[in-house]
Amino acid sequence: MALEGVINGTDFSIQLLNDVIALSTSGSINIEHKLRDISTRETNGYRKQIGGERQWSLEAEGLVAFRKLNGTSYQSITGEASINEIINDHIINRTEVQVKFKPTNPLITGVPLFTGIAFITGASIDAPMEDNTTFSVSLQGTGVLNQLTTGTNQ
């Protein structure tokens, strides 16, 4: 199954290990390429640059719920990582985690899939009066970001 036309953001998710971030409402991947300045007098007042370091990061936002309406804890749901688990397992314990930015549906083929190792560098929970409690989480890649294509040997 291929994605055609403009892609609905709901079709993508961020995974920690193999768990989707529970109750997420948005996710993004940021890839940067820093440039090094090599300007000299010989460049006649024009800046000359060459490639430097690359870095990448991920961000996610979502809704906070510690239990489903049926009373099941989000921490006990296989395949989902709750904000509690994210904070405890990866920030408090300072562990790196395998991450993926990929289509939610495993049957989707021919679409970029990004994967690498990251540290969770921040998590926040916002609880405004008379509104939904939300969270945001930031991840910073460490090392290579791999770009694969869904439907191939991943």
Can you tell me whether residue 146 is helix, strand or coil? strand
pTM of full prediction above 0.85: no
Q: What is the CA radius of gyration of the chain?
A: 19
Q: Which candidate, 86, 58, 83, 80, places its Cα nearest to that of 142? A: 58
Q: Does domain 10-33+49-149 have CATH number 2.30.110.20?
A: yes
83-98: per-residue pLDDT in tens?
A: 888 998 899 999 999 9
Amino acid identity, position 138: S
96-150: per-residue pLDDT in tens?
A: 999 999 988 878 888 889 999 999 999 999 999 999 999 999 999 999 999 998 8
Q: What is the Cα–Cα distance from 23 to 16, expressed in whole angstroms?
A: 14
